[in-house]
Structure 1
């Protein structure tokens, strides 16, 4: 399989990547840059930048202070910034854009590459990521793995190999070198280390492709070996390890399984619950004094990931269904402004969170692994009444309910504002929506001033 994927990476120029695949990738690029800008002011990013900058100088811009550093350092810092708020897009069991876009931006600056080259490399990396993710029948979270850290280094390695135009043999070694750097633990959810795992995956992808370019080698069948990538990370060993891969050229994975764009800066497993509550409170006045209990109906698998039941920080709250429900009820929104330590520690918030409980679903989705057929909420009131939200199957922003272009533009603008980026969002967005014609170094330098 490793060799077959290497051939896929090297042969995509012959297949050609059509405009609809590039357009789908473009949404991931725009959303990732947006969340990167918002995340640049987070303490985790400041610490990472401070630790790395004394040791590396180069041709790529890191987002924290817009300084020039080496490509691997830029990928690490920028991918951490893109993921630290958990506002980045989701697909293929993880967060592909937060890993691949920062890696490709850094490498494209060094190579003076065009936007069309970056988009094609993104599509290829997405293809390899999806090829591996769809082979597992169980949720990696249940074993404690963070899928973004696991698949991200391989997807980023493939994308970077495509941007470097490696031949099939070298591309296969890049994929193998990405696989051997895979890492990420669920126990880090709610801490700085979670976003660091995305940063390391981006950094690993660049390192893997550059090493392979120099002739550094990896195992010939590192992906589907009996002791290789797929088997080692499989929660229960129910993984398909055959060497055959999906045929490309007719439809890319990014076309059949495009990313979902987040509307709220919390774990995606909270979004259906948030949508259901916000729809209710638009029409019904519900104050916290009226509420005895909030019962969130959700799958046990998603409840396991949402492991922080009484969060004390904004980072912890991102993985708390209790916070998501309480915030939606208290503020009729869940926004970047709500994911702060001050808001989380507010006595009203803490009190309402303590009255939220989960009910594990018995009916499961046929399309979404580990998800309930729908998520919904019961609100038990002090006067004896019970309010029920409408069940939500697909959250707003899901690939089947995509954000309109103007909504994605608004998210980009608000993220730039949250990150104190003094840019002309209209001009930058116009360039990003026409990314094929752009020079990445010129675009990125202009955005970062």
Structure 2
């Protein structure tokens, strides 16, 4: 017999208040809005965003695109801004997914439309994060292994919860919103390394806005859509080993406080970050060898992460984001893996293409069945003179919740991302507003015109 999960989650969302939030949860949400806004502005001119705008031809409305003067209807703003946020794969990760790329654009769009306060938006983010965490807690396997992209399939439900909070829906309405979000879940890992991956985040954000609006206007859905034997949990489970029985834990163990966010230092799939750290550290500790001295690069990681990094011989920047061969070759030869390196011309460089041929992956058998990660990743460089140089084992990537970036590093990333769009004075003003999001009475023009 299943637990009334959908209704329990709905009751949590409908009764949540800012005063109930742990300070750590508030800090997580504020960091999410800050980082997601920066990477959204960095990604706004990517081809996938342009294609979507040209296809949707969005109507005028009261939600802004990219913190700028153009305003469209909130569902389309959420959709387009979420695609921009995930376009560079530079947005944060948590819960084996990209929660902020989905929820921040959805919350900002509806928040502008509704005239929500900064506290409202923080509370909405925590509501969605906690719903996301509770759903993930109940799955023993890895959705990626079945081909599901968790950002798309769970993101639609979490965004529905966040938008339902903003609209102050009652319990029955939130039940319907969650169920309607579940029926819009989509996204497959076969599309990683293409424009379709950020489209998953965009569709999930749009689905959340739409689900809450439909529920408020009277559309009904199943009251046990998540926990039913043919419901969401069972339908997307890789092996059917899903928990439909245990009591709901939301509001007791705050995942947004205890888990936090992993802020990306590199604009690549997060599965590649520990090996990048390992290679850069090895390169720094051993400046005596040159790329031409390298016979082979051996990286140890989990089989699941290697599977996600599916592009062994990438030819484009998009493909390279999901290539362990590229990121290690680039880190070794260039000495960094930043936005400028995820360029087609860099990927096609002859020296990098040649080095990719020398990368070999070995699988650590001690893979965590929940996270999909090995206890640590490690890189070894085999030199032509017969020597082998090994990196230290890397258990936490730089920027992980357990190894956070400094405030200055977060600020530097934000200013670097926004420099493509905003002058420094405007960017710094936006940064300050986001840092004190909880003090803003009303959100307008995606923070740029926020009321004091």
> Same-fold call, TM > 0.5?
yes
TM (normalized to structure 2)?
A: 0.95
**1:33-432 equivalent positions in 2, closer than 5 A:** 33-53=37-57, 55-63=58-66, 66-242=69-245, 244-248=247-251, 251-285=253-287, 286-365=289-368, 369-419=371-421, 424-432=426-434
| SS, match of residue 365 in structure 2 | coil
How many Å separate the matches in 2 of 1:383 and 1:273? 24
| SS, match of residue 27 in structure 1 | helix
1:252 is displaced (CA, Å) by 1.8
Aligned match for 1:16, one of 17, 20, 25 = 20
TM (normalized to structure 1)?
A: 0.96
CA deviations over 1:1-32 (Å, ceiling 9, x no partner): 11111111111139722433211110011010
Q: CA RMSD in A?
A: 1.6
379 and 66 in structure 1: CA distance in 2 versus 1, 3 angstrom threshold: farther
The 8 Å contact of residues 18 and 123 in structure 2, kept in 1 or not, is answered as no
| SS, match of residue 66 in structure 2 | coil
309 and 421 in structure 1: CA distance in 2 versus 1, 3 angstrom threshold: farther
| SS, match of residue 380 in structure 2 | strand
1:406 is displaced (CA, Å) by 1.6
1:243 is displaced (CA, Å) by 6.0
The 8 Å contact of residues 310 and 322 in structure 1, kept in 2 or not, is answered as yes
1:445 is displaced (CA, Å) by 4.2
How many Å separate the matches in 2 of 1:443 and 1:47? 22
Structure 1: segments with no counterpart, 5+ residues: none
| SS, match of residue 125 in structure 2 | helix
1:423 is displaced (CA, Å) by 5.2
1:280 is displaced (CA, Å) by 1.1
How many Å separate the matches in 2 of 1:443 and 1:50? 22
How many Å separate the matches in 2 of 1:41 and 1:252? 36
How many Å separate the matches in 2 of 1:404 and 1:40? 26
The 8 Å contact of residues 64 and 446 in structure 2, kept in 1 or not, is answered as no
Number of residue-to-residue matches in the alignment: 444
The 8 Å contact of residues 115 and 437 in structure 1, kept in 2 or not, is answered as yes
CA deviations over 1:220-267 (Å, ceiling 9, x no partner): 11001111100000001011012621051x552100111111100000
The 8 Å contact of residues 61 and 445 in structure 1, kept in 2 or not, is answered as no
- Deviating beyond 3 angstroms after TM superposition, the runs of 4 or more aligned structure 1 residues are 418-423
| SS, match of residue 440 in structure 1 | coil
| SS, match of residue 266 in structure 2 | coil
The 8 Å contact of residues 92 and 134 in structure 1, kept in 2 or not, is answered as no
Q: Which moved more, 1:438-447 or 1:197-206?
A: 438-447
How many Å separate the matches in 1 of 2:429 and 2:420? 18
1:364 is displaced (CA, Å) by 3.1
